[in-house]
Amino acid sequence: MLPLPKITKKRALFAVGIILCGCLVAYYFISSQPRGHEPPLIPKETEVAKQDAKIKITPNTDLVQKLIYTKCNDEEVFRTKPADNLIGLNYQQFQKVYSGWTIHKFDNLEVEMSLKVDSYCREHANNMFIGIKDGYVAVFYGKPGPKALLKEVTKIPVSKLVQEDLDELKRGIVVHSREELLRTLEGMQSR
């Protein structure tokens, strides 16, 4: 047997100190690493049957897409089957494809998601009519009815209009272009 070196109290304390310093340095480097490479957390409102990569989109999965138009607060909902390029994707892969969308539910049977659009819906964006607001001729987005949105109130008082124009305004005069709108308003103002 080889003779062991004589260990003194000073050497033992020195060795323990070196080991502790090494552990502290390793802990510091491990805990200070950036955490940007972790997968994104699933929003709390998202319903996921199992939180693993086994849930995938199949050809029978229903995609429910809700568009929320912020300028008129209308919503459109579309229910479709997935395109071929979506079949087989798990939650995180699907989230990359639909990065601006909020996914509310994700399972093999159905995926529910929504997107806020800073615009008017098609009905309000493509239609305008002339009506009455607070005793003045006004221009509205949409079609005549309760869902119409006020665009602007003109300086034309309805008290100055002939009865025929007043009756048409109460029903709403649909205009199909800006030129037609301006021509109609000019005609009312000149009477």
Find the mean pLDDT for residues 175-179: 88
Res 121: pLDDT: 87
Residues shown for the chain:
191
pLDDT per residue as tens digits for the range 54-89: 889 999 999 999 999 998 888 999 999 999 999 999
What angle is formed at CA 176 by the lines to CA 171 and CA 179, rounded to 5 degrees? Answer: 110
CATH architecture assignment, domain 47-117 = Roll (3.10)
Res 50: pLDDT: 46
Overall pTM surpassing 0.85 (yes/no): no
pLDDT per residue as tens digits for the range 91-110: 999 999 999 999 999 998 99
pLDDT per residue as tens digits for the range 5-47: 666 777 777 777 788 777 777 777 777 666 555 555 555 555 5
Domain 127-190, classified CATH 3.40.50.300, yes or no: no
Q: Where are the domains of the chain?
A: 47-117, 127-190
Close Cβ partners of 156 (under 8 Å, ≥ 6 residues apart): 136, 137, 185, 188, 189
